[in-house]
Chain A
Amino acid sequence: MIIDFIQQIFNGLVVGSIYTLIALGLTTIFGILGIAHFAHGSVAMFGGYLAFFLISTLGIGLLPSFILAMACGALLGVVLERVAYYPVRNAPPINSFIIALGLTLIIEKTNLLAFGVDQVIIPTPFNRVFSVGGVTMPELRVYVLLTAAVLVVGMTLLIQRTWIGMAVRAVAQNRSTAALMGINVNSVSMFVFALSSALGVAAGVLIGALFAVAPGVSEGLVVKGFAVLILGGLGSIPGAIVGGMVLGVTEAFAAAFISSGYKDVISFLLMIAVLLVRPEGLMRGKTR
């Protein structure tokens, strides 16, 4: 019983770490521009397809493909910010809302046109299965968790400890005063889109290795990402980390001990419960 319990926590953390990667991007973009960037899930899937293409068609190695896909994701993020969101930065929020929906469709259909309708699984050489005290840990899952952890810690350090990170937080907390400090608010917006999209692509690649990249996955991903934001508190980085883990583990428990058919229902019941009891989120946007 206790082994089952630990097993599900492990499974939940693996999936939760991917939710956290998605949510970190969404929360930073929301914090700085007030945009609900629905297209983020499609950007992640674009990254998954791209990594598959680099590995399978061009024969590039796994790690270089991963890094290259993240770099392309960063570039795509900058383009999205400049072309789609920058022109409506002073318009009413409904404009960016509609643009976000339109972008989602455009990227989703582009993925279909470029990569086809078939699902793809990113090939990895990690086939071993470790067993630690009765808990089954497939090598691949361990690496997914570690990769996500490194990226999350890296992003957090970047935001908390560097000048550019401080600039990001300043713009989120007081935009016009950030400009008075000499911060180029436009560059910060582009930087945030680049960083967030790179992390989104990383999540897409991890999903592609763990499950599959396929049409339709992105919607579920972006909905889960926003669920994490609600759990953790909008704009909060610690909230995205804790929220992602809570959501992942809740799903794993629901799937294992109730029914895998109900795991989404149960995670959304959890979200509604949090909205009712702690509408400010579990972590209450302390450090933005």
Chain B
Amino acid sequence: MLEVSNLRIGYGLAEVVHGVSFDVQAGECVSLIGPNGAGKSTILKAICGLLPAMGGEIRFEGQSILGLPGHRVAHRGISMCPEGRQMFPEMTVLENLQLGAYSRRREAIKDDIDEMMTLFPRLRERSGQLAGTLSGGEQEMVAIARALMARPRLCIFDEPSLGIAPRVVDEIEQTLLAIKARGVTILLVEQSVSMALRVADRAYVLEAGLIVLEGPSADLASNEGVQNAYLGY
């Protein structure tokens, strides 16, 4: 479904992703893990059309999406739940969710909103509140629901548990599993590697802009190097 090959990305002249290849099959949940600054968010932004690539190729459903501007990528069926939640702070929860369905604005979206409010009952209580005044956990729920409102074929999550209270992190893990169970294809970047390996079918380990390891989650979870570096055994 998504094929990234030999992708190179940088800021200005400094290359930070040095030729990365990976793929996500339809219906799969794939995780990208690695230390801070490895280039995970950079790769996700390039896929979503927010950053230009220096080289390589990105194909989605067989067609190249390299160089497409962000809104065109969104129209192709890729949704992103960005790092740091990225609310529209002075809009209500409801308006944030409506914006998630912007590319489907000519369709009826009321049922979708209702579905999201059922998935996250707390959002129903808060639907008229300005998103900027929500807690971090609540904002993350808005960000996830907003991404799903587009009915994406591929949904990308960038660190959904970052800076969230531990109690809410469990809730987010359950939500990701629920989204996966609906058949949405997922690309997950997550600093909590144990969580990522529980949710994902396969994972790639990225270090300093290069993929150093890949395999089924179970294999990586029992890999000694991964355990020492990320799982804290």
The chain A residues found within 8 Å of chain B, CB to CB, are 163, 166-167, 169-170, 173-174, 176-185, 285-288
B127 contacts partner chain A, Cβ-Cβ < 8 Å: no
Contact across chains for A163 and B91 when beta carbons are under 8 A apart: no
Contact across chains for B86 and A179 when beta carbons are under 8 A apart: no
Main secondary structure of the interface of A (DSSP, over half): helix
B69 contacts partner chain A, Cβ-Cβ < 8 Å: yes
How does the 8 Å CB contact mask read for B81-106 relative to A, with 1 for contact and 0 for none? 01000111111000100111011010
Contacts of A178 in B (CB 8 A): 88, 99
The chain B residues found within 8 Å of chain A, CB to CB, are 48-50, 69-71, 74-75, 79-80, 82, 86-91, 95, 98-100, 102-103, 105, 146, 150
Given contacts A173-B89, A182-B103, 6 further A-B contacts (CB under 8 A): A174-B88, A179-B50, A181-B71, A181-B74, A181-B150, A185-B70
Contacts of A287 in B (CB 8 A): 90
Contact across chains for A181 and B90 when beta carbons are under 8 A apart: no
Contact across chains for A166 and B99 when beta carbons are under 8 A apart: yes
Contact across chains for A179 and B49 when beta carbons are under 8 A apart: yes
Contacts of B48 in A (CB 8 A): 180
CA distance A167 to B146 in the complex (A): 14
CA distance A167 to B95 in the complex (A): 10
CA distance A179 to B80 in the complex (A): 10
Contact across chains for B90 and A179 when beta carbons are under 8 A apart: no
Contact across chains for A170 and B71 when beta carbons are under 8 A apart: no
Selected contact of A169 from candidates B86, B91, B103, B146, CB within 8 Å: B91
Residue of A nearest to B87 (CB): A174
CA distance A180 to B87 in the complex (A): 12
Residue of B nearest to A173 (CB): B88
Known contacts: A163-B102, A287-B90. The answer to whether A185 contacts B71 by CB under 8 A is yes
CA distance A163 to B105 in the complex (A): 8
CA distance A217 to B179 in the complex (A): 60
Contact across chains for A170 and B88 when beta carbons are under 8 A apart: yes
Contacts of B146 in A (CB 8 A): 181
CA distance A252 to B75 in the complex (A): 52
CA distance A282 to B86 in the complex (A): 27
Name 9 A/B residue pairs within 8 A (Cβ), A-sorted.
Answer: A163-B102, A166-B98, A174-B86, A176-B50, A178-B99, A179-B49, A181-B71, A181-B103, A286-B90
Q: Measured between C-beta atoms, what is the minimum distance from A163 to chain B in Å?
A: 5
Known contacts: A179-B50, A181-B102, A287-B90. The answer to whether A166 contacts B95 by CB under 8 A is yes
CA distance A148 to B211 in the complex (A): 61
Contact across chains for A180 and B91 when beta carbons are under 8 A apart: no
Contacts of A185 in B (CB 8 A): 70-71
Known contacts: A181-B99, A181-B102. The answer to whether A176 contacts B89 by CB under 8 A is no
Contacts of B49 in A (CB 8 A): 179
Contacts of B71 in A (CB 8 A): 179, 181-185
Known contacts: A177-B86, A180-B50, A287-B90. The answer to whether A170 contacts B70 by CB under 8 A is no
Residue of A nearest to B50 (CB): A176
Contact across chains for A179 and B87 when beta carbons are under 8 A apart: no
Selected contact of A170 from candidates B74, B91, B105, B150, CB within 8 Å: B91
Residue of A nearest to B98 (CB): A166
Contact across chains for B75 and A177 when beta carbons are under 8 A apart: no
Residue of A nearest to B51 (CB): A176
CA distance A177 to B99 in the complex (A): 10
Nearest 3 CB-CB pairings of A with B: A179-B70, A182-B103, A182-B74
Contact across chains for B90 and A170 when beta carbons are under 8 A apart: no
Selected contact of A179 from candidates B74, B79, B91, B98, CB within 8 Å: B74
CA distance A173 to B48 in the complex (A): 19
